[in-house]
Structure 1
Amino acid sequence: MNLKYLFLIFLAISITHVNGQSSKKEVLFKVDGEPIYVSEFLKVYNKNLDLVQDETQKDVDEYLALFTNYKLKLKEAKSLGLQEKPSYLRELDTYKKQLAKNFITDSKVTDALVEEAYNRVSNDVKASHILIKIAENASAEDTLVAYNNIVKLRDRALKEGFETVRKEVHNGQTIFGEDLGYFTGFRMVYPFETAAFNTKVGEISQPFRTQFGYHIVFVQDKRASRGERTVAHIMIVPKPGDSISGKPEDKIQDIYKKIKQGEDFEALAKQFSDDGNSAPRGGLLNPFSSGQLNAKEFEDVAFALQNIGDVSEPVKTQYGWHIIKLYGKKPIESLQDMKPELEQKIKRDERSKLIDQALYNKLKSKYNIPKKQPALGYFASILNDDYYKKSWQLPNDFVADKPLVKIGKKQLTYKDFGDYLVDAQNGAANKTAFDVLVSKHYESFLNSKLVEYQENHLEEENTEFADVVAEYRDGLLLFDLMETTIWNAAKSDSLEIANYYNANKSKYVNPNRVDALVASSKEEKTLKKVAKLLEGGMALEQIKALINSNDKIDVIFTSEIMDETHQALPKSFEFKKGISKIYNHNDGFVMVQVNEVLPETQKTLEEAKGAVISDYQVFKEQNWLQELAKKYKIEINQKALKHVKSQIKKQ
């Protein structure tokens, strides 16, 4: 039973913490006198029921053992004072800030952005653009020059044709003119995406700015999304030093000929594909949408296949050679089905700024923040050119204690904003009018203080948020405990690791292997002929030339050092030197010439170190848990446990 798996489950569950203030709480067990309630156990058990894969963990007694171990670890962590570690407190604070965004954001704005995003991922835009590159913090003068230049280029493009101007002005340094092909939502930065989707086909957008500079976009075409494809592939990659299998382009052509001859695609993928992840599944890949792969050639061929079962000709990508078979075509999902995924993407995207602004506006209204701040004139008056030299300080007669703005019960003073201005000067690059600068910094200061205040008081206002934070607090504490007590200790304890290895050497061996040549064919009689030729001492190249032809491939050879799990070897294959019998394997036939049998050998500690450390960690943790159970007495309330079992049976 994997105890680390329990930790991951507890860290992953969203709301399980029960703070124990209800009057009718039934105690399930105590850890060193501290009560753990039935309600908490049931909540965690039911929450995790769908997550666990080990059926033993669904057994109440088994799960109770895991749960008590979890509580033992938490008890130990707190007794060691890990909850006071600065690193722990920093990470918890970071998590709370991230989590709070889910509870305090404006759902109406998010929903509108989700709908917009859905409309965009449901369509593709084909476009090209011209970019005049300019830094985000460029001076007003440089910004104006860049803007005027992009306007001039747009005027030229309208008269001379966009593609003509694009190709002429591209220099790859200060001006970029690029044909982008088709793209969909989330493939470009948000302002660029918006300009492209809002520009009609055949038209050139007005100039717009992104983090890279000023752009104009020419929209060539728009189409509905191509949806999703599910394909399988056979991949052959170059293998330096493999003189038997030949060039990958020759081998892929041989395999393609066998498919055209009617041999089974999945069987050939299992035998020959160099993609170790997909080969055991007959070459099947996870579904993908347009623009998702890093191999445009592969994607274009996959989407060009029309009918389920269609097979492509060999296609080359940067990864090797492929033959692709179409398994499934799926249109774009509904808005309701895609909503969770789109929400996550929006939060990671530039769109999130719109959500943030809506939040600031909501908090300003909630805490009755005045729209105007008369004190800004004072702050503008005390700035000077030292601010741009990053040497400015608050004046000696600065009125530090004067009230500035009140958020809820928290009064902010002139000093709070004054200190903010001092810190912010490190980011000042170009000169700006002081009143504009102060206004901008005050807005950032106020927004950050509003969110900070809301986050700090969210646990008081929102029970659900409080429960999630409490669960993460325990999970993070447990992670720190395991890292310091078990994981890091196990890795660094070289003497104990060596002792564990010596006591368990039989677990760490290289299996039996063979240096072998495998001949694969759809026809058994073909392999009988190959076996006779090999027995007669004929060279392999001669055999290939005799058996195969340019129009028909009857046999494919694979030469490697293989263990019993190798995809080319039948499960019943006997490791014996010489030419084997013919086996029925992967809907075809194979015959193996074993050049040498490499017997099982003992792995050295260095060779097995990863597995040894992992096993030693489990061993160390089991012993440690036994020590904790002696240190902290566990008292099970059998009556309550019986009640728990009866409740679970009724579910």
Structure 2
Amino acid sequence: MLRIYFFLAICFFSSTLQAQTSQSDVLFTVDDSPIYSKEFIRVFKKNLDLVKDESQKDVDEYLKLFIDYKLKLKEAQALGLDNKQSYQRELEGYKKQLAKNYLTNNKVTSELVEEAYERVTNEIKASHILIKLSPNPKPDDTLFAYNELIKLRERVVNEGFESVKNDVHNGKTIFAEDLGYFSGFKMVYDFENAAYNTPVGEISMPFKTRFGYHIVKVDDKRASRGERTVAHIMISNNKENTTQENAETRINAIYQKLQQGEDFEALAKQFSNDVSSAKKGGLLPAFEGGQLSSQEFEDVAFSLQKEGDVSEPFQTQFGWHIVKLYKISPMGSFSDMKPQLEAKVKRDSRSQLINEALVNKLKQDYNITPNNDALAYFESILNEDYFKRTWQLPKDFKSEENLVSIGDLQLTYSDFGEYLIKTQRRQSGKKPIDVLVKEHYKVFLSNHLIEYREAHLEDVNEEYANIITEYRDGLLLFDLMETKIWNAAKNDTVGLKAFYKKNKENYFWNTRVDAVVASSAKKSVIKKASKMLAKGTSPETIKNTINKDGKVNVIFTSGILERDHQSLPEDFNFQKGVSKIYHKNDAFLVIDVKEVLPKTLKQFDEVEGIVLTDFQNYKEREFVKQLHLKYNVVVNKAVLSKVKSQINQ
């Protein structure tokens, strides 16, 4: 996880291609290595909106950071970190992964993305019958499955699906199942196609997927449910120092207060253990079906019908919740959903269609023409031994004959011959020799076309080249920081403790209180609770006295509370005893302070993690100072002036 965040940070200072910047002005040099103004301007403008520190939006301040970045890269290369096998291996792996996004046919991809949008915005309710087949079925098995499904289709038409389902489903070779509602990407693409192309109320003809042959009956089609925006109050099962009640008891008490007419948002601010949403009255970001990690939460949220509806308490793996519906939003527009749909299309079996279109384009780009003489030759030398996995190249094999040229790569008969030798080990089932040769040559050529384009992708795609350069630099910087700073600080136990002692003023507990907070929507109730607290009455006795007839009039929060605790008012006076009555988040509060805990030094064991982070930051600053002494940095003031003018235009 650390590496991911680090790369997000270093992309701040992404490099560009040397070929693109060779004609640019040199902004500065690091030991005579030029850094071009074009690169600096591009990076500055690219990251301007991401910078949170206003000082970094100043060109001079940003230049300091940029120089530090380049110094670290220079040191990483000087240490030979770019020659490490682990570095080379990870870089090649990333290049291969990233290349998938650029090895595509945009026209076909666009058509598939448009189709996908239509399908994810409309749900199908269907049932199906599957006759399962092996991955490489015999022709007789295929014909049998097809004919059997024709008969079953007729039975479904005449008898109804449920009757046929109960009769034929065995869960082994024949599956008859109700699938409920589904949308795009929920089924394999061949099945999805058949379902969406079958009118409601009708049954498809038999069709094949990788599982076997199916028929599908479409029962309904409806618009997808879109997004929900909700707020929630959550009581965690594990929350400490908050209440002596268990989570279920507490959530039911809060629900009772809602039933009594108290405000949802105010109660969320007072009591919800989801701190990030509590401050916003429990409000959560909008979500779609299938987006949350809790199915129970999602089901309740989508079951609410009207904006303002509130659920009863329910439990998930995170604790107990009450949900309020704020907004029902339809599915996003095509432009909003296009990026995520495109990513899904490229991961889905639809990608096979994209690959076929890509290969056809590469054939045009590299001027590939059929070599019928070569195919005829291979048809003449292949025989039945191939299906026995014992076939060998003949002694007079024309190994050096040219088969096909891809750019500057020349493939020979020997390349394809060796490919056939290897593929016979995976061959299953007989087929005519001419069909076999054509199929294998198609795969052989496609693989080499894609491999060649991938190997030369940096030469033909500027965006890909820039991203690879960013990642290449990022790997170097990560290894440098891990070696010189992070691990060094972590392993320097003596230095870490010395740093803690030297900087103790940064590691103090602020003033805290050991207190009980009573909260109620009614001031009269809090006045009564305040008097009882002043007499030393326990919170449990007070609750039993005030919360009668099924009503929850007062809720208590207790424990060690810091000044910014959600239960405490901003102007609370940290003083022992029962406080005055405060008003916060539409509720009245009184605090019984048992003890005021003064500002005290945090022991090293309590803050070791924080101290380590601070120590690492300190060592990094010292490290950068050393780099400035080691390498000579010369800034071209005239070019910097031009850069400022260009940026400020």
Range class of TM-score, shorter chain: 0.7 to 0.9
| 1:32 CA displacement | 0.6
- Residue number in structure 1 paired with 2:382: 380
Is 1:192 aligned to residue 194 of structure 2? no
- Residue number in structure 2 paired with 1:8: 8
CA distance in 2, matches of 1:256, 1:554: 12
1:263-274 equivalent positions in 2, closer than 5 A: 263-274=262-273
- Residue number in structure 1 paired with 2:291: 292
Amino acid at match of 2:382: A
Change (3 A) 1:536 1:353: same
| 1:214 CA displacement | 4.7
- Residue number in structure 2 paired with 1:227: 226
- Residue number in structure 1 paired with 2:642: 643
Offset from partner CA, 1:75-134 (integer Å, 9 cap, x none): 122222333333333333344344444445221101111110111122122234455556
Question: Quick check: 443-452 or 367-376, which moved more?
Answer: 367-376
| 1:67 CA displacement | 0.7
Contact 1:17 1:468 in 2 (8 A): no
Amino acid at match of 1:366: D
Change (3 A) 1:397 1:306: same
Question: Quick check: 314-323 or 169-178, which moved more?
Answer: 169-178
Is 1:121 aligned to residue 130 of structure 2? no
| 1:207 CA displacement | 4.0
Contact 1:29 1:637 in 2 (8 A): yes
Question: Quick check: 602-611 or 331-340, which moved more?
Answer: 602-611
- Residue number in structure 2 paired with 1:521: 520
Offset from partner CA, 1:508-535 (integer Å, 9 cap, x none): 4555554543321112221121122234
CA distance in 2, matches of 1:131, 1:532: 73
Offset from partner CA, 1:248-284 (integer Å, 9 cap, x none): 4443333233223332211111112232332222111
Change (3 A) 1:14 1:430: farther
| 1:297 CA displacement | 4.7
SS of the aligned residue for 1:226 comes to coil
CA distance in 1, matches of 2:532, 2:138: 79
Change (3 A) 1:445 1:495: farther
Contact 2:21 2:36 in 1 (8 A): no
SS of the aligned residue for 1:77 comes to helix
Contact 2:12 2:47 in 1 (8 A): no
Contact 2:229 2:284 in 1 (8 A): yes
SS of the aligned residue for 1:474 comes to helix
Question: Quick check: 25-34 or 500-509, which moved more?
Answer: 500-509
CA distance in 1, matches of 2:135, 2:518: 62
SS of the aligned residue for 1:35 comes to strand
- Residue number in structure 2 paired with 1:261: 260
Change (3 A) 1:306 1:612: same
CA distance in 2, matches of 1:533, 1:170: 69
Contact 2:130 2:215 in 1 (8 A): yes
Change (3 A) 1:45 1:539: closer
Identity between Structure 1 and Structure 2 (%): 56
Query: RMSD in angstroms over aligned alpha carbons?
Result: 3.6
CA distance in 2, matches of 1:152, 1:503: 85
Change (3 A) 1:613 1:144: farther
Question: Quick check: 435-444 or 116-125, which moved more?
Answer: 435-444
Change (3 A) 1:396 1:264: farther
1:71-150 equivalent positions in 2, closer than 5 A: 71-131=70-130, 136=135
| 1:558 CA displacement | 3.0
CA distance in 2, matches of 1:438, 1:11: 47
Change (3 A) 1:159 1:6: closer
SS of the aligned residue for 1:49 comes to helix
| 1:412 CA displacement | 0.7
Change (3 A) 1:110 1:506: same
CA distance in 2, matches of 1:193, 1:79: 55
| 1:370 CA displacement | 3.5
| 1:47 CA displacement | 1.5
CA distance in 1, matches of 2:510, 2:141: 68
Question: Quick check: 146-155 or 578-587, which moved more?
Answer: 146-155
SS of the aligned residue for 2:187 comes to coil
CA distance in 2, matches of 1:598, 1:578: 13
Contact 1:77 1:481 in 2 (8 A): yes
Offset from partner CA, 1:481-505 (integer Å, 9 cap, x none): 3333333443444444344344334
1:336-351 equivalent positions in 2, closer than 5 A: 336-351=335-350
Amino acid at match of 1:634: V
CA distance in 2, matches of 1:137, 1:420: 21
CA distance in 2, matches of 1:512, 1:491: 30
Change (3 A) 1:612 1:146: farther
| 1:63 CA displacement | 0.2
Amino acid at match of 1:621: E
Offset from partner CA, 1:218-266 (integer Å, 9 cap, x none): 3332112222221111123445999965454443333233223332211
Question: Quick check: 435-444 or 578-587, which moved more?
Answer: 435-444
Offset from partner CA, 1:462-491 (integer Å, 9 cap, x none): 444444443443333333333333334434
Amino acid at match of 2:592: Q
Contact 2:508 2:602 in 1 (8 A): yes
| 1:173 CA displacement | 6.3
- Residue number in structure 2 paired with 1:530: 529
Contact 1:382 1:395 in 2 (8 A): no
Amino acid at match of 1:374: A
Change (3 A) 1:122 1:491: same
How many equivalent residue pairs? 642
SS of the aligned residue for 2:382 comes to helix
CA distance in 1, matches of 2:122, 2:102: 31
CA distance in 2, matches of 1:53, 1:316: 39
Change (3 A) 1:523 1:9: same
- Residue number in structure 1 paired with 2:57: 58
TM-score for both structures, normalised by structure 2: 0.87
Amino acid at match of 1:84: N
CA distance in 2, matches of 1:140, 1:578: 88
Question: Quick check: 187-196 or 338-347, which moved more?
Answer: 187-196
1:112-511 equivalent positions in 2, closer than 5 A: 112-131=111-130, 136=135, 154-166=153-165, 178-239=177-238, 246-371=245-370, 372=372, 373-377=375-379, 380-381=382-383, 383-384=385-386, 387=389, 399-424=398-423, 428=426, 430-433=428-431, 435=433, 439-509=438-508
Amino acid at match of 2:39: E
Amino acid at match of 1:287: A
CA distance in 2, matches of 1:145, 1:271: 67
1:616-635 equivalent positions in 2, closer than 5 A: 616-635=615-634
CA distance in 2, matches of 1:173, 1:505: 69
CA distance in 1, matches of 2:323, 2:61: 47
Contact 1:18 1:467 in 2 (8 A): no
SS of the aligned residue for 2:126 comes to strand
Q: Tell me, which stretches of 5 or more residues in structure 2 are unaligned? A: none
Contact 1:402 1:413 in 2 (8 A): yes
Is 1:36 aligned to residue 31 of structure 2? no
Amino acid at match of 1:623: E
Question: Quick check: 523-532 or 502-511, which moved more?
Answer: 502-511
Contact 1:13 1:47 in 2 (8 A): no
CA distance in 1, matches of 2:40, 2:352: 40
Question: Quick check: 568-577 or 391-400, which moved more?
Answer: 391-400
Question: Quick check: 547-556 or 517-526, which moved more?
Answer: 547-556
Amino acid at match of 1:230: T
Is 1:553 aligned to residue 552 of structure 2? yes
| 1:360 CA displacement | 1.0
Contact 2:242 2:558 in 1 (8 A): no
